[in-house]
Amino acid sequence: MRSPCSLKQEFLKKWIMGIQRCNFSKKKLSILERKKAIKLSADVAMASLRNGTTCWSRALIAKAVNQGNDEKHDLVQQMVKKAPIRSVSCNKRMMRSKKILKRSCGVRRRKCAAQASTRPSSIAKRLVRKRTRILKSLIPGGEFMNEASLIEETLDYILSLRAQVDVMRSLAIASENQS
C-alpha cells in the first residue's frame, strides 16, 4: 500500500499536468467551465494513479471519457498511460447478465419477504441491504461489484478521495494566502 504522502505527490503532478493541458490562459472560460475542467482533471488524476487495478478507477475514467467532448477525450487519454476504455463494454455486458439474474430471482425474493418482514433481524438486514445499495450508487462503478469487493473498493476509494481533497485544499489555501 503506497504511503499517503507519495499518493498525494503523484496526484498533484498528474492533476497539474491535466490543468496545464486545459490551456486556461489562452481561452476565455466561464467560472463554471473552469471549475468543471479542474474537477475533471482531479478525478482523472486520482483514478489514473491506480493504473486500472481497481474497479472504481476504471469506471471513473470510462465515465470521464464518455461524457466529455473530443477535447476532453484527448485530455483524459493523455493523462492515462494505459487505455482502459475497453472496460466500458465489459461493464455493459456484466450489467446485462446481472439484470437477467435479478429478474429470475425476483419472484423467490418477494415470497420470502412476505413471511419474515417483522422480525428485528430482518429489519436490520433490510437496513443493511438498503444502505449497501446507497453505497453502491456513491462509488463509481459500484453497481457492477459484488458485496465482497464493494468493501475493498470503498476503502481504496475513500483513501484516494482524502488524498485528492487534501492536495486541493492545500493548493486553494496557498493560492488564497498569496493573493
Partner 1 sequence: MSSRRSRQSSATVSRISDDQIIELVSKLRQLLPEIRNRRSDKVSASKVLQETCNYIRSLHREVDDLSERLSQLLATIDADSAEAAIIRSLIM
Binding residues (CB under 8 A) for partner 1: these are 16, 19-20, 24-25, 31-32, 34-36, 38-39, 42-43, 101, 121, 124-125, 127-128, 131-132, 134-135, 138-139, 146-148, 151, 154-155, 157-159, 161-162, 164-165, 168-169, 171-172, 174-176, 178-179
57 or 164, CB closer to partner 1? 164
Residue type, 33: E
CB of 127 to partner 1, least distance (A): 4
Please choose, from the candidates 112, 133, 132, the residue with its C-alpha nearest in 3D space to the C-alpha of residue 122: 112
Distance in Å, CB of 98 to partner 1, minimum: 10
Work out how close the CB of 6 gets to partner 1 at its nearest, in angstroms, rounded to a whole number: 19
The grid coordinates listed for 132 are 449497501
Cβ distance to partner 1 smaller for residue 85 or 171: 171
Measure the CA–CA gap between 5 and 113, rounded to whole angstroms.
48
Residue 74 CA to residue 68 CA, distance in Å, equals 9
11, 45 Cβ separation under 8 angstroms: yes
> Smallest distance from the beta carbon of 83 to partner 1, in angstroms?
25
Q: Give dist(CA 61, CA 129) in Å, integer.
A: 28
CB nearer to partner 1: pick between 2 and 131: 131
- Give whichever of 5 and 31 is closer to partner 1, judged by the CB atom: 31
Cβ atoms 141, 91 nearer than 8 A = yes
Closer to partner 1 by Cβ: residue 74 or 152: 152
57 vs 11: CA distance, rounded Å: 13
In one-letter notation, the amino acid at residue 69 is N
**Least distance in angstroms from the C-beta of 149 to partner 1:** 10
